[in-house]
Amino acid sequence: MDGRIYLDHAATTPLDPRVLEAMLPCLRDAWGNPSSVYGEAREARGRFSAARRLVAELLGAAPAEIIFTSGGSESDNLAIRGIAHAARHLGNQVVTVATEHHAVLHATAGLEQEGFTVTRLPVDRCGFVDGAMLEAAVGPDTALVSVMLANNETGTVKQFPRSRGSLRQGTHKRWSTLMQFRRRIARNRRDPPRVDALSLAAHKFYGPKGVGVLYLRTGTPLEAQIVGGSQEKERRAGTENVAGSVGLATALRLAMEELPARVRHVQAIRDRILDEIPRRIAGSVITGPLEPERRLANNASFCFEASTRRCC
């Protein structure tokens, strides 16, 4: 791939060699089953528990609020179906947005087939949801509100009603990038996230593929989607992916530690791309907003048409 520059980190990122180093002892030596009771399992359980504590600390959460999954799609599905099913006695309506990730759109479409009412809010031409419209859509029958904080394709950072209390039954928001996550949520690391559920996929921030996290605020109802053993406090069955979870935790730690430098780096690249592509390529249209605070630091996206006008 000489001379090529990979720019599709929203699709996936390389595995950070430091993350691989952290995973190797789990792959080589700490191979026990964390749910077993004897000595051989103890080292695996210790590393797995430490990964959970580290993720919790980095998110400003409690360890019991961290559920390890196989990735972002499973986390999204678990949050949406799991909360909606468990909260069904409280209401039959789910509120979401037309531009969500397919893991959210298809999961809510499934709820619709089960008899839920799904309200899909429209967005403006830059991808924004109207906050007043969102608040108005939430009513006494709302079981769940699921809105991504930032769009993974257009980079649009969503604007929300500030008060979670105005939504009767929890909000599930999905972060498409860690940078966004940190800027918005973790200013005070001791503050828990201001949502009830949050999905992370390790391979989006230099971690391994096949592992994710669902943060679930204490007290949020959840029905398990993969059932069997009692792993993850009966919220997600299956032998624990120790190496993957350690990899996710390490990648998250590095992302948090290096966030200011990473943001500076990608933002400069983003701005140059957003500046030069429309000037150099006739018919290119920037999608999403241009204002720095309203667009992900790592996102530049375009449509290519006959006209070069901006979408907003």
Site residues, a copy of itself (CB under 8 A): 1, 4, 6, 8, 11-15, 17, 20, 23, 27-28, 31-33, 35-36, 38-40, 69-74, 76-77, 101-104, 106-107, 110, 201, 203, 208-211, 225-229, 237-244
Least CB distance to a copy of itself at residue 275 (A): 23
CA distances from 251 to 18, 202, 204, 212, 302 (A): 8, 7, 10, 11, 29
Within 8 A by CB and 6+ apart from 227, the residues are: 237
Least CB distance to a copy of itself at residue 302 (A): 16
Least CB distance to a copy of itself at residue 211 (A): 6
- Phi and psi for 272 in degrees, rounded to 5? -65, -40
Q: What is d(CA 154, CA 285) in angstroms, rounded to the nearest whole number?
A: 12
Whose Cβ is closer to a copy of itself: residue 203's or residue 217's?
203
Q: Could you tell me the two tokens for 293?
A: 């605070």
Whose Cβ is closer to a copy of itself: residue 48's or residue 128's?
48
Q: What is d(CA 33, CA 5) in angstroms, rounded to the nearest whole number?
A: 40
Least CB distance to a copy of itself at residue 30 (A): 10
Contacts 24+ apart (CB under 8 A), 16-24: 16/206, 16/207, 16/250, 16/251, 16/254, 18/250, 18/254, 19/206, 19/207, 19/208, 19/247, 19/250, 19/251, 19/254, 20/247, 22/246, 22/247, 22/250, 23/208, 23/243, 23/244, 23/246, 23/247, 23/250
Least CB distance to a copy of itself at residue 73 (A): 4
Whose Cβ is closer to a copy of itself: residue 69's or residue 176's?
69
Whose Cβ is closer to a copy of itself: residue 126's or residue 199's?
199
Whose Cβ is closer to a copy of itself: residue 159's or residue 230's?
230
- Phi and psi for 175 in degrees, rounded to 5? -95, 130
- The CA angle 158-263-180, to the nearest 5 degrees, is 25
Whose Cβ is closer to a copy of itself: residue 83's or residue 185's?
83
Whose Cβ is closer to a copy of itself: residue 193's or residue 244's?
244
What pairing do the DSSP bridges indicate for beta strands 142-148 and 171-174?
parallel
Continuous H helices in 6-150: 17-28, 39-59, 72-86, 102-113, 131-137
Least CB distance to a copy of itself at residue 45 (A): 12
Least CB distance to a copy of itself at residue 82 (A): 12
Whose Cβ is closer to a copy of itself: residue 133's or residue 227's?
227
Least CB distance to a copy of itself at residue 263 (A): 22
